Amino acid sequence: MELLPFFEWAETSFLGYIGKTYGGVYATFGQSIHLMSLAVLGGSVLVTDLRLLGVIMKDVPSEVVANEAHKWFRIALVFILATGIFMAAAVAQRMYYNDFFWAKMSALLVGIIFVFAIKRPMLKGNHADIQPWLLKLVAVASIMIWFSVAATGRWIGFS
Amino acid sequence: MINELLLQFAEWLYATSGSRAIEESFYLYNWIEATHVLTIMLCLGMLVFIDLRMLGLAMPGVSAVKISERLNIPMMIGFAIMFITGLLLFYAKPTYTIQSIWFRIKMVLLVVAFVNAVLFHKRMKASASTWEYEAKAPRHLRINAALSLGLWAGVVMTGRLIAYDWFHCYRELPAWLGAAAGCVAD
């Protein structure tokens, strides 16, 4: 499937026009809210994963931590996707030819599938029923995946 | 006077070999910057959960003091990393950064956020035993928590805006803005 026409269209769309024309809107509503959402998303990932690894909050049930953090993960994900789409629309054609953009999109897709198809269904139940090594493996995988998403995302700006 | 001194200090820093080495190294500078940005997840991620707990928006069934104490250590580790990488970023581009209005606002917000955090901890320790298991902290602490979220959002935004030179000294600026940004006459 040829995606370039879609990226060309995105840049001429209303969102693309706003981001391209008004640098202040791009930097505040786009980049800054994207980073604030990263704080919440990354925080919710780390709170859960560090708890599963037994690094923090050992005296709080991991089920409580995972459930509460997941609520904020979903909210942050909505904001991070919305601001990400806004930013990408403004520079869509440049993104199309940027390797790190595609690396990030791949990592993000893996991250979303990992959370909603593996991590969340697994952590919904009683954690005592799950092998401890498996919980730790999921936590390490989760940290690595979301680190990759954030790092490749930051590197888009450098490349 | 203060702006002249700050600029002289920045120019001295700029001339050191370490400063030149970081700015001129593509990977070194960008990895320091990436580390600074990515550590948001650790430092502000933990801070957000402490504040949300005070506001009754996260883990309301768990002792607020426990959440605050347990998340404080990873938050401070994150802060230390952000502080060190932030110093290095400043060291790499001292003359540009010292005359950035956004950097200056960010520093003010950081100081206010620090004072707010100290007040918050003092107030929390003084009264915690009476409310720590309630879903929400008392009103004055909720104000501290909301302020903390707002101030750190401001720190993130102004930090991101340092990259933009819309109000830099080589632009036409009103006198008050030029003075606030640290511009000095040639």
User: Mutating which of A35, A58, A77 best tests the B interface, going by the most B Cβ atoms within 10 A?
Assistant: A35
Beta carbons of A109 and A116 less than 8 angstroms apart = no
In Å, how far is B186's CA from the nearest CA of chain A?
29
pLDDT of B176 above 90: yes
In percent, how much of chain B has pLDDT > 70?
99
Judge whether B101 is closer than 8 Å to chain A, CB to CB: no
Q: Of the candidates B27, B30, B25, B42, which has an alpha carbon nearest to the alpha carbon of residue B82?
A: B42
Q: Which residues of B touch A35 (CB under 8 A)?
A: 37, 40, 156-157, 160
Report the distance separating Cα B127 and Cα B141, nearest Å: 10
For residues A116 and A120, give the distance between their C-alpha atoms in angstroms, rounded to a whole number: 5
Name the residue among B48, B59, B153 with its Cβ closest to that of A43.
B48
pLDDT digits (tens, 9 = 90+) for B152-171: 999 999 999 999 999 999 99
For residue B158, the surrounding DSSP H or E stretch is helix B139-161
Q: Each residue of B34-49: pLDDT tens digit? A: 999 999 999 999 999 9
> CA B159 to CA B175: how far, in whole Å?
23
Across the interface, whether the CB atoms of B61 and A24 are under 8 A apart is answered no
Nearest CA in chain A to B68: A57
**Number of residues that make up chain B:** 186
Dist CA A42 CA B45 (whole Å)? 6
Mean pLDDT of the region B44-61: 96
Residues of A in contact with B29 (CB under 8 A): none
Band (pLDDT 50/70/90 cuts) for residue A28 is very high
Does the beta carbon of A111 lie under 8 angstroms from any beta carbon of chain B? no
Question: B112: which residues sit within 8 A by CB, 6+ positions away?
Answer: B151
For every residue of B58-122, DSSP letters joined together read S-TTS-HHHHHHHHHHHHHHHHHHHHHHHHHHHHHSHHHHHT-HHHHHHHHHHHHHHHHHHHHHH
Which range marks the domain in which residue B175 is found? Answer: 2-181
Give the whole-angstrom CA distance, residue B127 versus residue B108: 29
Model ipTM value: 0.94
pLDDT of B128 over the 90 cut: no
Is residue B185's pLDDT more than 90?
no
d(CA B105, CA B8): 20
Count how many Cα atoms sit within 13 Å of the Cα of residue B96 in the half-sphere of its side chain: 13
**At B54, is the pLDDT very low, low, confident or very high (cuts 50, 70, 90)?**
very high
How far does Cα B118 stand from its chain's mean position? 15
Looking at residue A62, its pLDDT comes to 97
Q: Give the pLDDT of residue A26.
A: 94
Distance CA A127, CA A62 (A): 7
Please answer whether residues B34 and A154 qualify as being in contact, where contact means their C-beta atoms are separated by less than 8 angstroms: yes
Contacts of A154 in chain B (CB under 8 A): 33-34, 37-38
Measured between alpha carbons, how far is A19 from A116 in angstroms, rounded to an integer?
31
The backbone region for B171, taken as left when phi is positive above 0, alpha when psi lies in -120 to 50, beta otherwise, is beta
| Residue in A68, A79, A73 with CA at minimum distance from that of residue A33 | A79
Distance in Å, alpha carbon of B39 to nearest chain A alpha carbon: 9
Residue B41 with chain A: CB contacts under 8 Å: 38-39, 41-43, 45-46, 146, 150
Q: Choose among B30, B38, B157: nearest Cβ to A32.
A: B157
- Is B184 strand, coil or helix? coil
Number of compact structural domains in chain B: 1
Amino acid at A52: L
Going by pLDDT thresholds of 50, 70 and 90, the confidence category of residue A127 is very high
Say if B186 falls within a structural domain: no
Q: Is B37 on the interface with A (CB under 8 A)?
A: yes
Is pLDDT above 90 for B125? no
Structure tokens at B156: 């993130």
Chain B interface mutation, best of A68, A70, A77, A80, highest count of B Cβ atoms under 10 Å: A68
* Environment class of B76 (CB within 10 Å of its CB; exposed 0-12, middle 13-18, buried 19+): middle
Eight-state DSSP code of residue A31: I
DSSP for B32-73, written as a single string: HHHHHHHTHHHHHHHHHHHHHHHTTSS-TTS-HHHHHHHHHH
Q: Do the Cβ atoms of B44 and A41 come closer than 8 Å? A: no
Instruction: Supply the mean pLDDT for chain B.
Output: 95
Q: Quote the percentage of chain B above a pLDDT of 90.
A: 94
Contact B70 A60 (CB under 8 A): yes
